[in-house]
Amino acid sequence: MRREVILTTRDLKAGYGGKPVLQGVDFTVRHGEIVAVIGRNGVGKSTLMKALIGLLPTNSGSILFNDAPIEALPASKRARLGIGYVPQGRDVFPRMTVEENLKVGVQIRGTAGPEDFERIYTAFPILKERRTQRAGTLSGGQQQQLAIGRVMISSPALVLLDEPSEGIQPSIVQDISRTIRAMNEATGVTIVFVEQNLDMIRATAQRCYVMDKGRIVAEIAAHDLDDRDAVRRYLAV
Amino acid sequence: MDALGAIFASLYQFGDAFAFLVLSACGLAIIFGMMGVINLAHGEFIMCGAYVTVMANRAGLPLPVAVLAGAVVAGAIGVLVERLVIRHLYARPLDTIVATWGISLIATQGTLIVLGSTMTGVGTPLGSFELAGNSYSTYRLVLMGSAVAVLVLLYLFFNKTRFGVLARATIQVPHMAEALGVDTRLIYAMTFGIGAGLAGLTGGLYAPTMTMVPTMGTTFIMEAFVTVVVGGADVFLGTAPAAAALAIVKASLTSWYGQLFGQIGLLIAVILVIRLLPRGVSGFLLRERA
């Protein structure tokens, strides 16, 4: 089955101030896929995520979401079209409770019922336990779960995750990987994630794009992900 | 004078000082705490509220409605100022000081040119009452009640309403709120409008007790800035306790040594707080909690 394309970039260029980081990124993601973007530090993976959600302006090139160009839209409009973003470092609202953080996530939908919160609390039971606690007091892993729950509660079509395993203990990394796959199976949500952790990539992704010097330089199919040496080779390009 | 009368007199003085500090500062505190903008035109929003209240009242509106009209007009002007000026300066916070100072000068001089150097005010309503041989203004009790009501309503507004939750999210991590679909530009415009509207409300509430001159806003400015500096960036953890503490300083010094020493006491208090708690009371409380 050949699925519809949800996200395409064409010769996407973006950067900070006058310094270009993305030098022309071309890649395509289909509905319901789980795709990893890998590469060494500083090749532009996080920059790509920020350019896709709109926190960084596009200098040239285009981003198509469900065939419509979105590169000129502000981040809040892109979010309203159904793109969720989980940044590196999580960025939970530290002085708000877990529940209030989820409320911010669900507001795009206008009306939200208790069942929306229940859905997230079922996927992440720790969030239910801590729901009246300030998000700033949670551990790194709990904050990561909250950041994922905060975008999933609005039922987005596409979620961008920036290094979900960073700074999190291995057992929680496995939990997060399992939850991402379970949510993908249950709702068909498309996932694009940036990652350095090989275990996380192998356990979660169906295919990978390899980035180097601001471009996509290779694609690895799902079955090659089990070949650790091949993946390592790309990470050490 | 019996002991009960003395206690009431002290409480009344404290309440009066507390109300003045809270009402002077809350609009400034919201704009500073939530947006990081130091609004030097705060006093002119207060003046605007006072002028609109007096004009509306003399045009026949009952005083409470006229006060609300003053708040609404000041708030609307606040939204306009945010859209036309402040919005373009978020990346340059120091420049907002210069810009709002300019707005303050234009507003004061403009009012002077258009409406003249004084305007007939409205009398203080509700008369006075006597207790243990002293006479008290009943309207001052209304002001105390208003200060408490403003604090309670602000707390409910920022914690229980959808807008309040989104505003706090925007203030804490702006780019993340934006990435979650929050229209942060609208939030900033509304927040500035609410701060200006509160200043207008303060002007309206105090209008019946003051002489109507274009520079009347400066009466509030010193107290407003002292309270915000002592309180820090959080309205509830900062402004309210700071106003309470400063009200004790001000009320006791004023009743023992007179008005001037009350003001000097406030300034000494703020100097001490800057030395001991550089991020204000709320900065101290938030660090202790984290």
Q: Dump pLDDT digits (tens) for B164-196.
A: 999 999 988 999 999 999 998 899 999 999 999
Q: In the prediction, which pLDDT does B131 show?
A: 80
pLDDT at residue A236 above 80? no
**More confident site: A236 or A108:** A108
pLDDT on residue B273: 80
Give the pLDDT score at A169: 83
A92 interaction partners in chain B (CB closer than 8 Å): 173
Q: Which residues of B touch A96 (CB under 8 A)?
A: 165, 168-169, 172
Query: For A180, how many CA atoms within 13 A lie in the half-sphere containing its CB?
Result: 33
Q: What is the pLDDT of residue B159?
A: 87
Angle between helix B138-160 and B184-206 (nearest 10):
170
3-state class (DSSP) for residue A182:
helix
pLDDT confidence of residue A1: 47
Choose the mutation target among A107, A133, A154, A155 for the interface with B, i.e. most B CBs under 10 Å.
A107
Chain A's closest residue to B176, CA to CA, is A91
Q: Work out the average pLDDT over A157-168.
A: 89
Chain A residues with CB under 8 Å of B91 CB are none
Report CB contact under 8 Å: B178, A74: yes
Nearest Cβ partner of B180 from A100, A105, A137? A105
> How far is Cα of residue A4 from the mean position of the Cα atoms in its chain?
19
| Mean pLDDT of all residues in A145-167 | 91
Residue B287 pLDDT level (bands cut at 50, 70, 90): low
Confidence of residue B235 (pLDDT cuts 50, 70, 90): confident
Segment A181-203 shows an average pLDDT of 89
pLDDT of the residue at A52: 94
What CA–CA distance (Å, rounded) separates A76 from B184?
A: 8
At residue B81, the pLDDT reads 94
A53 touches chain B (CB under 8 A): yes
According to the model, what pLDDT value does residue A160 have?
Answer: 95
pLDDT at B106 (0 to 100) = 93
Question: Which chain A residue shows the shortest CA-CA distance from B183?
Answer: A76
**Could you give the maximum distance between any two Cα atoms of chain B, in Å?**
64
Helical (H) or strand (E) element with A200? helix A198-204
**Hey, is the C-beta of B186 within 8 angstroms of any chain A C-beta?**
no
Q: What pLDDT is attached to residue B110?
A: 92
Of B166, B179, B182, the CB nearest to A53: B179
Confidence of residue B244 (pLDDT cuts 50, 70, 90): confident
Is residue B173 less than 8 Å (CB to CB) from chain A?
yes
Q: What is the pLDDT of residues B37-80, one digit of tens each?
A: 889 999 999 999 999 999 999 999 999 999 999 999 999 999 99
Q: What is the pLDDT of residue A222?
A: 67
Given this model, what pLDDT does residue B190 score? 93
Kindly state the average pLDDT of the residues B205-219: 90
Q: Are strands A68-69 and A58-65 parallel, antiparallel or unpaired?
A: antiparallel
Q: Is B122 on the interface with A (CB under 8 A)?
A: no
Q: Does B285 touch chain A (CB under 8 A)?
A: no
User: How far is A47 from chain B, CA to nearest CA, in Å?
Assistant: 14
Are the Cβ atoms of B175 and A93 closer than 8 angstroms? Answer: no
- Nearest neighbour of A75 by CB, restricted to B166, B179, B289: B179
Residue of chain A whose alpha carbon sits nearest to that of B289: A137
Confidence of residue B289 (pLDDT cuts 50, 70, 90): very low
In chain B, the residue whose alpha carbon lies closest to the alpha carbon of A85 is B179
CB contact under 8 A, A104 and B162: no
Contact B173 A104 (CB under 8 A): no
Lowest mean per-residue pLDDT among A228-232, B107-111, B214-218 = A228-232
Identify the CA nearest to A196 among candidates A185, A186, A188, A204. A204
User: How far does B185 lie from chain A, in Å, by closest CA?
Assistant: 10
The pLDDT value given to residue B288: 47
Chain A residues in contact with B289 (beta carbon < 8 A): 134
Mind telling me how many Å the CA of B287 is from chain A's nearest CA? Answer: 11
Which residue in B48, B39, B15 sits closest to B228, CA to CA?
Answer: B39
Judged by CB atoms closer than 8 Å, whether chains meet at B181 and A151 is answered as: no
Say what the pLDDT of residue B286 is: 64
Mean pLDDT, range B244-267, rounded to an integer: 83
> For residue B126, which amino acid is it?
L
Best of A50, A93, A106, A139 to mutate (most B CBs within 10 Å, chain B): A93
B244–A contact, CB cutoff 8 A: no
User: Nearest residue of B to residue A50 by CA position?
Assistant: B179
What are the angstrom distances between the C-alpha of A4 and each of A33, A49, A67, B95? Answer: 10, 21, 10, 49
Reduce the secondary structure of B52-87 to three states and give it as a string.
HHHHHHHCCCCHHHHHHHHHHHHHHHHHHHHHHCHH
- A93 vs B contacts (CB less than 8 Å): 168-169, 172-173, 176-177
Which two structure tokens, joined as six digits, stand for A108?
């795009």
pTM for the predicted model, two decimal places = 0.83
Chain A to chain B, count of Cβ pairs less than 8 Å apart?
74
B156 touches chain A (CB under 8 A): no
Pick from B179, B181, B289: CB nearest A55:
B179
Q: What confidence category does residue A2 fall into, taking pLDDT thresholds of 50, 70 and 90?
A: low
- A138-158 as b/e, with b when 16 or more CB fall inside 10 Å? beebbbbbbbbbbbbbbebbb
Measured CA to CA, the distance from residue B264 to residue A103 in angstroms comes to 46
pLDDT over 80 at B290, yes or no: no
DSSP string covering chain B: --HHHHHHHHHHHHHHHHHHHHHHHHHHHHHHHHH----TTHHHHHHHHHHHHHHHHHTT--HHHHHHHHHHHHHHHHHHHHHHTGGGGTT-HHHHHHHHHHHHHHHHHHHHHHH-S-B-----TT-EEEETTEEEEHHHHHHHHHHHHHHHHHHHHHHHSHHHHHHHHHHH-HHHHHHTT--HHHHHHHHHHHHHHHHHHHHHHHGGGS-B-TTTTHHHHHHHHHHHHHH-S-IIIIIHHHHHHHHHHHHHHHHHH-HHHHHHHHHHHHHHHHHH-TTHHHHHHHHHH-
